[in-house]
Amino acid sequence: LHTRHIMKNLNRMLDAAMAGTFLEQNFDESLLSAVESRFAHYLAANAVSAQKLREEKDRIKSLIADISHQTKTPIANICLYTQLLEEASSPETLPLVRQIHQQAEKLEFLIQALTKISRLESHMIQLHPTCQPVCGLVQRSVEEARGRASSRHITIKNTAGDSTIKASFDFKWTQEALGNLLDNAVKYSPEGSLVTVSLQALEMFVSVTVADQGMAVGEEERAQIFERFYRGANARQTEGNGVGLYLTRMILQREGGYIKVSPGKEGGNCFCIYLPKEPLPPAVAPGTQP
């Protein structure tokens, strides 16, 4: 009977802790066993730690918002003023002004990417995957990438036209993930080459593959290239900051998907993203908060 009473008390403590309502003073230690008393102290310490974690996340959110707000206007002004300077510059100074403009645009892109990463990591942004056709996602992403591809005389071939193939994904954020792959394919492929986008339905996932004709990623680097700020040996001569693939991997993980890279059959790389056919249950979805 005494053991049953202890178990009921422990169970009540756990219920309160999971509900976020645990307070140590709710339990009369004079009536508790040594185990119950120590368990109550443990849950109280965890409640304090959880509160500190929530406060720290709130501070991070505030810091991210401040950085994003404080840098947006100055960088926009730099880009605007350099555009005006380009119109008034002499042939000798024009290349320098254009360099300033390009560096300002790179800084703007980097800050935007880091802000997105921080918001995803701190769960400020919640993804909302829904079951929908994948071909629309691919078509939109390819259309946005074609302008950049045409400037380098690169052809993007889209073979993902099957509207019956569906997966569970957040359209906006998955478009960003796929767009990063297409941007890299265009950036690191030689002029006049071909980028092919294909779609395949598997048993549990739907795969979207972006195949390019650039320099193949070495086997020893295939896991490292998805780390933040990592740049492969073949990419160091090209402008970039090493955050695009990391952001892509994070977005896919939050949806229950993943990304892989393999060598192409005729050279180059095949970057393949895998989207789940069914949404993950809330209890196991990556990034789910209690």
In the 3-class helix/strand/coil scheme, how is the chain assigned residue by residue? CHHHHHHHHHHHHHHHHHHCCCCHHHCCHHHCCHHHHHHHHHHHHHHHHHHHHHHHHHHHHHHHHHHHHHHHHHHHHHHHHHHHHHHHCCCCCHHHHHHHHHHHHHHHHHHHHHHHHHHHHCCCCCCCCEEEECHHHHHHHHHHHHHHHHHCCCEEEECCCCCCCEEEECHHHHHHHHHHHHHHHHHHCCCCCEEEEEEEECCCEEEEEEECCCCCCCHHHCCHHHCCCCCCHHHCCCCCCCCHHHHHHHHHHHHCCEEEEEECECECEEEEEEEECCCCCCCCCCCCCC
Q: Which two tokens stand for residue 17?
A: 């802790």
Measured in degrees and rounded to the nearest 5, phi and psi for residue 45 equal -65, -40
- For β-strands 155-158 and 166-169, DSSP reports them as unpaired
- Pick 193 or 76 by higher pLDDT: 193
Arithmetic mean of pLDDT over the chain: 79
Enter the pTM of the model.
Answer: 0.65
Q: pLDDT category, 288, cuts 50, 70, 90?
A: very low
Residue 127 confidence (pLDDT): 86
- The mean pLDDT of 20-40, rounded to a whole number, is 55
Q: Which residue has the higher pLDDT, 189 or 62?
A: 189
- Between 22-36, 103-117, 158-172, the lowest mean confidence (pLDDT) is in 22-36
For residue 287, pLDDT over 60 is answered with no
Least confident of 26-40, 46-60, 137-151, 178-192: 26-40
Q: Kindly tell me if the per-residue pLDDT of 201 is higher than 70.
A: yes
Over residues 212-234, the pLDDT tens digits come to 988 888 777 777 887 876 666 55
What residues contact 268, with CB distance under 8 A and at least 6 apart?
A: 189, 211, 212, 213, 214, 215, 216
